[in-house]
């Protein structure tokens, strides 16, 4: 650690990290396009220039991302000279940048737009036409490149080189004709492509899935955790008008995912937008499931569970630790068995983030003392009891609707708490449940790091979070209420 | 406490009748002047370039609208009357509105949408009447909002004229 002075304040800086990091850590707002804290600095955009004075030498303007802090350095990020230099840089970056902010999806969260507003350059000084390039160049299934908007910061190029360690993009051609391209126009490969759309400081790289879907300032954003594998990447879930999840983006978390997430998690929001969700409760009367008030359905469930000593609670690994704790307490007092379904690892495992284990809260539930049961074992446990509660989102998906249909309805009475109502003969009652973007709680990832999940939108009418459902059930059990 | 001193009335005022006659003379005089009330539905309002009626989308000569669904009018609208959903198009503008609704019951005719629009797509028309049998019918969709450019030309020219006040010669 060395001592430097940033804007008149003495601060400690790590000499191995670029100067721009020390500036940002101490509240100095230095703009940046090519620099990204997760990538190697190259100093290609030159927008982070600050005035640096070292020893007796006269003050010089230097790029903060390619300068190492040294003892006694005096840095002024707001000096007139630094401002003037940055403004000139900006003018060159804007030389060929199209003025299509109204169309651009990045508008509202664009670094170039923000800094242009901050510097107040409202008009260009050139009369030459801007260069005309391909505005809708497809780079595979995930990404569209707008070559006109690109400012050639090369963040995307460096991302593929440094993070998945598979170089796919490059800056091709020369001078003002330079463009980002893949070799021989091949489509991008791999499951980390989505990250380059987040990295892009302008609107040049956009996700095909998000393209023209929403204006970013209309999105409600909440911190959450990805539920597609046991890594539990920190994410931001973004919802338009309280209805549809439009985007999931990685949230910086040094302990888990740093700045990245895989495309499997990123595009997993489709399932949260599906219609046909279960509203409230339904109880089997005769052969059909009939909609029922939740309280009455729960009363019937309570009567059955309190009567039946041979019972099992089979949990989905998507349940949070708060929900797991409640269910375990109830099951133990009723003398029922409890386990969570642990599906076989899938083939998506890689060296970077994806663990291949689809259970986001495996560790959390295991730490609560709930045993993991592979699918076959869970089905065996289900068949061996007279009364079973399957609880949590995706539980039918995990156990398999076909397998559940084979369960003998005369031997096992099954109650289902899931997102969708499937007519499975052994199921006597179903309850709508809030999924992982509709309820709050905590998951524990494979390394023991706790990740929050947040209610970004409202669940369907009548659907409840498992915690609330269990609380209502417990309230109906007088003896248990006293014991708690 | 405030003591109000009343004006001493003169003899004519005390007699009451002369004052009645004086008042009625004003009434009779007005009866023979040109009336200033307007018989509204029969006599329509005079509409000038500054008339700010309901917002409408301009249909250009090539039958397209200039809107790229950037959402700035939606963001500027103080009454939250506008709802826009964009979508991709093959036209050069890349994006166009798939849904553009203005809730005319919410619209307060402030003209912020016109001011916010970077594409000169929405203008305040001179249409002011608004009546229907249901609330739903007064949520105007994109088809109901379209007006040919000729119908809005007066307002378009006016807005362009006042906008030049803060435009520098070189700005694009």
pLDDT in tens, A303-318: 888 888 889 999 999 9
The answer, for A243 touching chain B at a CB cutoff of 8 Å, is: no
B169 pLDDT tier (thresholds 50, 70, 90): low
Per-residue pLDDT tens for A463-473? 999 999 999 99
Residue of A95, A109, A212 to mutate for B, most B C-beta atoms under 10 A = A212
With an 8 Å Cβ cutoff, are A213 and B86 in contact?
A: yes
* pLDDT given for residue B92 in this prediction: 85
Nearest CA in chain B to A123: B171
Query: CA-to-CA distance for B98 and A377, rounded, in angstroms?
Result: 50
Contacts of A18 (CB under 8 A, 6+ apart): A35, A41, A64, A65, A66, A67, A68
pLDDT at B156 over 90: yes
* pLDDT given for residue A479 in this prediction: 62
pLDDT at B171 over 50: no
Closest partner CB to A103 (pick from B70, B75, B168): B70
Domain boundaries, chain B: 55-164
Report the DSSP pairing between strands B122-124 and B55-59.
antiparallel
* pLDDT given for residue B167 in this prediction: 66
Tokens of A439: 């309820």
* pLDDT given for residue A208 in this prediction: 94
Consecutive H or E run containing A154: none
With an 8 Å Cβ cutoff, are B94 and A99 in contact?
A: no
Interface pTM (ipTM) of the complex?
A: 0.81
With an 8 Å Cβ cutoff, are B118 and A218 in contact?
A: no
Mean pLDDT of A450-459: 93
Per-residue pLDDT tens for A258-316? 999 999 999 999 989 988 888 889 999 888 888 989 999 999 999 888 888 889 999 99
Mean pLDDT of B131-137: 93
Closest partner CB to B94 (pick from A101, A103, A217): A103
* pLDDT given for residue B172 in this prediction: 43
Mean pLDDT of chain A: 91
With an 8 Å Cβ cutoff, are A217 and B75 in contact?
A: yes
pLDDT at A482 over 70: no
Looking at chain A, which residues constitute the CATH 3.10.20.740 domain(s)? 2-93
* pLDDT given for residue A99 in this prediction: 83
Q: How far is B171 from chain A (nearest CA, A)?
A: 5
Give the CA angle between residues B135, B141, B142 to the nearest 5°: 165
Mean pLDDT of B150-170: 83
CATH 1.10.10.10: does it fit domain A2-93? no
- DSSP-derived letter for residue A464 is B
Three-state helix/strand/coil letters over chain B: CCCCCCCCCCHHHHHCHHHHHHHHHHHHHHHCCCCCCCCCCCCCCCCCCCCCCCEEEEECCCCCECCCCCCHHHHHCCCCCEEEEEEECCCCCCEEEEEEEEECCCCCCCCHHHHHCCCCCEEECCCCCCCCCCCHHHEECHHHHEEEHHHHHHHHHHHHHHHHHHCCCCCC
The answer, for B163 touching chain A at a CB cutoff of 8 Å, is: no
A484 pLDDT tier (thresholds 50, 70, 90): very low
Looking at chain A, which residues constitute the CATH 3.40.50.740 domain(s)? 281-483
* pLDDT given for residue A260 in this prediction: 94
User: Residue A208 to residues A142, A169, A193, A218, A424: CA-CA distances in angstroms?
Assistant: 5, 18, 11, 19, 37
A with B: how many residue pairs have Cβ under 8 Å apart? 45
* pLDDT given for residue A18 in this prediction: 94
Query: Which B-chain residues 56-85 have CB contacts (< 8 A) with chain A?
Result: 68-72, 74-75
Residue carrying structure tokens 């076959």: A376
Residue carrying structure tokens 């021989």: A184
Three-state DSSP at A246 gives: strand
Contacts A125 to B, Cβ<8 Å? 170
Burial A120-149 (b: 16+ CB within 10 A, else e): eeeebeeeeeeeebebebebeebbbbbbbb
CATH 3.40.50.720: does it fit domain B55-164? no
Q: Domain A281-483 belongs to what topology? A: Rossmann fold (3.40.50)
Closest partner CB to A212 (pick from B74, B75, B88): B88
Tokens of A13: 């800086």
pLDDT at A133 over 50: yes
With an 8 Å Cβ cutoff, are B74 and A215 in contact?
A: yes
The answer, for B99 touching chain A at a CB cutoff of 8 Å, is: no
Closest partner CB to B68 (pick from A102, A125, A213): A102
Sheet containing strand A281-285, strands side by side: A288-292, A281-285, A427-432, A413-418, A387-391, A311-315, A337-341, A372-373
Per-residue pLDDT tens for A204-261? 999 999 999 999 999 999 999 999 999 999 999 999 998 899 999 999 999 999 999 9
Per-residue pLDDT tens for A371-421? 999 999 999 988 889 999 999 999 998 988 888 888 888 888 899 999 887
Closest partner CB to A135 (pick from B69, B87, B94): B94
* pLDDT given for residue A61 in this prediction: 94
pLDDT at B170 over 70: no
Report the DSSP pairing between strands A137-139 and A179-182.
unpaired
Per-residue pLDDT tens for B16-67? 999 999 999 999 999 999 888 888 889 888 888 899 999 999 999 999 999 9
With an 8 Å Cβ cutoff, are B94 and A107 in contact?
A: no
Closest CA to A352 of A155, A188, A191, A154: A191
């Amino acid at each position: 650690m060395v001592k430097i002075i940033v804007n008149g304040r003495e601060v400690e800086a790590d000499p191995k990290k670029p100067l721009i990091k020390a500036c940002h850590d101490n509240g100095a707002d230095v703009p940046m396009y090519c620099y990204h804290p997760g990538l190697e600095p190259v100093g290609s955009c030159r927008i982070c220039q600050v005035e640096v004075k070292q020893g007796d030498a006269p003050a010089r303007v230097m790029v903060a991302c390619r300068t190492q802090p040294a003892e006694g350095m005096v840095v002024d990020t707001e000096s007139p000279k630094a401002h003037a230099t940055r403004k000139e840089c900006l003018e060159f970056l804007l030389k060929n940048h199209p003025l299509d902010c109204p169309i651009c999806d990045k508008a509202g969260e664009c670094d170039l737009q923000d800094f242009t507003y901050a510097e107040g350059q409202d008009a260009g000084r050139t009369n030459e036409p801007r260069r005309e390039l391909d505005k809708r160049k497809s780079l595979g299934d995930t990404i569209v490149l707008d070559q006109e908007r690109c400012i050639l910061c090369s963040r995307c190029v460096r991302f593929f080189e440094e993070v998945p360690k598979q170089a796919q993009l490059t800056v091709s051609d020369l001078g003002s004709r330079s463009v980002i391209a893949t070799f021989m126009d091949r489509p991008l490969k791999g499951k980390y492509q989505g990250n380059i759309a987040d990295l892009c400081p302008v609107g040049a790289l956009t996700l095909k899935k998000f393209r023209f879907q929403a204006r970013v300032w209309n999105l409600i954003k909440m911190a959450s955790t990805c539920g597609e594998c046991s890594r539990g990447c920190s994410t931001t879930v973004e919802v338009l008008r309280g209805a549809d999840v439009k985007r999931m983006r990685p949230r910086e978390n040094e302990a888990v995912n740093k700045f990245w997430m895989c495309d499997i998690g990123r595009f997993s929001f489709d399932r949260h937008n599906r219609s046909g969700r279960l509203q409230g409760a339904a109880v089997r009367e005769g052969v059909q499931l009939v909609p029922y008030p939740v309280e009455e359905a729960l009363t019937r469930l309570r009567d059955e569970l309190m009567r039946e000593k041979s019972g099992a609670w089979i949990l989905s690994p998507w349940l949070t630790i708060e929900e797991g704790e409640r269910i375990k307490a109830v099951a133990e007092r009723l003398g029922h068995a409890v386990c969570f379904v642990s599906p076989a690892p899938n083939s998506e495992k890689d060296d970077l983030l994806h663990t291949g284990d689809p259970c986001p809260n495996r560790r959390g539930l295991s730490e609560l003392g709930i045993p993991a049961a592979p699918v076959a074992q869970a089905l065996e446990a289900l068949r061996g009891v007279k009364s079973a509660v399957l609880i949590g989102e995706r539980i039918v998906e995990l156990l398999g609707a076909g397998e559940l249909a084979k369960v003998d309805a005369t031997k096992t009475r099954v109650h289902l708490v899931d997102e969708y109502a499937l007519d499975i003969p052994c199921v006597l009652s179903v309850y709508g449940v809030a999924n992982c973007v509709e309820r709050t709680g905590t998951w524990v990832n494979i390394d023991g790091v706790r990740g929050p999940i947040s209610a970004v939108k409202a669940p369907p009418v009548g659907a409840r979070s498992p915690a609330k459902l269990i609380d209502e059930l417990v309230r109906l059990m007088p003896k248990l209420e006293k014991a708690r | 406490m405030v003591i109000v001193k009343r004006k001493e009335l003169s003899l004519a005022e005390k007699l009451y009748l002369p004052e009645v006659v004086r008042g009625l003379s004003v009434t009779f005089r007005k009866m023979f002047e040109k009336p200033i009330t307007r018989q509204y539905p029969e006599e329509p309002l005079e509409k000038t370039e500054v008339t700010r009626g309901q917002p409408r989308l301009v249909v250009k000569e090539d039958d397209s609208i200039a809107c790229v669904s950037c959402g700035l009018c939606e963001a500027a609208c103080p009454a939250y009357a506008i709802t826009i959903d964009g979508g991709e198009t093959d036209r050069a503008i890349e994006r166009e509105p798939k849904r553009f609704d203005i809730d005319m019951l919410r619209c307060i005719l402030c003209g912020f949408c016109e001011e916010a629009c970077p594409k000169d797509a929405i203008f305040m028309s001179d249409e002011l009447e608004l009546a229907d049998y249901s609330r739903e019918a007064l949520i105007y969709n994109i088809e109901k909002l379209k007006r040919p450019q000729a119908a809005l030309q007066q307002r378009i020219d006016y807005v362009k004229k006042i906008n030049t006040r803060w435009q520098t010669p070189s700005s694009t």
